[in-house]
Chains A and B, each alone.
Chain A
């Protein structure tokens, strides 16, 4: 089984978000970048397929040279090969077209991408890869088993979950639940040393149109101070929620 895990290079979850150039660009100053958490759950699940079902695992990222440390980290965790498509990841559709080309060239049976990146939150790349390549697709996946050429996947739905079966090739929109937080792996020294020698192939992008463009960013308006209510006077809280906030 050939697996491709799509890795988005995103600001760490604790990052302060600021913008530059008249609020048109994300300010990377002092920001630490990590593997997108939703992708990391998928990468770990792929490692289990590698160890228990002899799968091969490649990782891919759409981005400039500055994203290579994130790909090296994925190699240190245990991926076999890395591919970087040398272009700027802007519109989700554009990114999906680039990834679909990598999927088709590599003949992958299973593609795992996070349900969304935590920076642009587009939530469209996995589904678009599936639609472009004609593969089956399960989003918000919290459980995945594969026997032969058939997958059984559990999808989180509003208020519950849904189980489905599908033939490979399959694209998964992954998230926590594919593996647990405690299953995530921190690269060890041996992994980091080995990752330096693993292949990281840079390919140039294909021609593709950009359907959307983030033209400006805004930060939420500063919040007013909290209104404190005395714990001995909870009546006041009920009254504020009813009369002032009008939410009950």
Chain B
């Protein structure tokens, strides 16, 4: 009856979202008077999970599961859920978790609430708050299914350390050929850059930067902050930056701790996509730009003067606070 979580790893190291899911599930388990069990597939050091409230880890080591495979992974988590008789499952909002959660829901005949931003408002009836209308609103969703899957928004809950120790159980689920009918042939992932999904800070550029040749300072600012780079829709449509950097309603959603928009006017579609970010900064020479209404901090000024100054000041700050 414990709360089951899927703890994702990248190259054998648990992702921050996995620890966030553990922290969240611990409090849900407390509300339900139960424990937290984690599913770890070729994952890292399970003792790390104990520090975030996990009581038991089902450790799966299998060469067939080295690369993420949606059907196989969903099957493994389903088997773990059935074995443990769980009623609540928590997954993150990474691309892979959002990929597998709907399959898992069908396998378990479970309701699924994605983009959840807070602990359940009540557990009987089970009511939970999620974002809707691409961050322009929230909805309270009542889940009536016997098994419930919660997709936690990244960075919505944060990490909460716990002094527990996790019991490790080696687990061998049964895999079949049917689990591998989609064959991954190539993975192309930039390992030297922070991805928008994982980033705590995102630096974004818009049309105000006048051309792709001016992105050097955006990249330098991102580098100083350890941030991911992003861009507005017109910038990606004009081919100044790759589509993978487009954030907004039809691009990638952003839920970072800090979002810095440079030369971005702040169209309603852009703001919807980045609104889940906690702190927003805008740098724009047009004081009428709509982004100033959505931002926490703003600088009315020429990006080509302000950004180099900001880079210099941040370098000084880092040197003094190292």
Residues of A within 8 A of B (CB): 11, 13-14, 17, 19, 37-38, 91-93, 96, 118-128, 130-132, 136-140, 142, 152, 155-167, 175-177, 180-182, 209-220, 223-224, 226-231, 234-235, 237-238, 240-242, 245, 247-248
Contact = CB atoms under 8 A, between A and B. Distances in A.
B131 interface: yes
A217 B139 contact: yes
Contact of B184 (A164, A180, A211, A215): A164
A56 to B, nearest CB: 24
A160 B190 contact: yes
Top 10 nearest A-B pairs (CB, nearest first) are A127-B102, A159-B195, A211-B111, A231-B301, A160-B189, A131-B106, A158-B197, A211-B145, A247-B258, A124-B102
B198 A158 contact: yes
Contacts of A224: 296
Contacts of A140: 95, 98-99
B188 A231 contact: no
B189 A157 contact: yes
Interface in B282-314: 282, 292-302, 305-306, 309-310, 313-314
A234 B279 contact: no
A240 B300 contact: no
B138 A217 contact: yes
B142 A215 contact: yes
Given A212-B144, A226-B282, A237 B190 contact: no
B76 interface: no
A119 B182 contact: no
22 contacts: A11-B133, A121-B133, A124-B114, A137-B71, A138-B182, A159-B190, A161-B188, A163-B184, A165-B182, A167-B181, A211-B105, A212-B143, A214-B132, A215-B142, A216-B140, A218-B139, A226-B293, A231-B309, A237-B299, A237-B313, A245-B258, A245-B297
A16 B133 CA distance: 10
B299 to A, nearest CB: 5
Contacts of A38: 250
Given A218-B138, A229-B298, A242 B115 contact: no
B272 to A, nearest CB: 8
Contacts of A248: 201, 225, 258, 314, 317
B319 to A, nearest CB: 12
A160 B243 contact: no
- How big is the B interface, by class? 35 or more
B19 interface: no
Contacts of A130: 102-103
A215 B140 contact: yes
Given A165-B185, A247-B257, A92 B112 contact: yes
A247 B250 CA distance: 27
Contacts of A247: 200-201, 257-258, 278-279
Contacts of A158: 94-96, 195-198
Given A163-B184, A245-B258, 4 more contacts: A19-B137, A152-B185, A157-B189, A165-B185
Classify the secondary structure of B's interface with A: mixed
A210 B109 CA distance: 11
Contact of B127 (A93, A165, A177, A215): A215
Contacts of A142: 243
B105 A124 contact: yes
Nearest to A140: B95
B183 interface: yes
B152 to A, nearest CB: 13
Contact of A139 (B99, B185, B294, B300): B99
A136 B102 contact: no
A226 B144 CA distance: 41
Contacts of A127: 99-103, 106
Q: Which of A138, A212, A228, A241 has the most CB of B within 10 A?
A: A212
Contact of B112 (A93, A231, A240): A93
B92 to A, nearest CB: 10
B249 interface: yes
Interface in B111-166: 111-115, 127, 129, 131-145, 151
B140 A214 contact: yes
B142 A245 contact: no
Contacts of B5: none
Interface string B86-100: 000000001110111
B268 interface: yes
Nearest to B268: A14
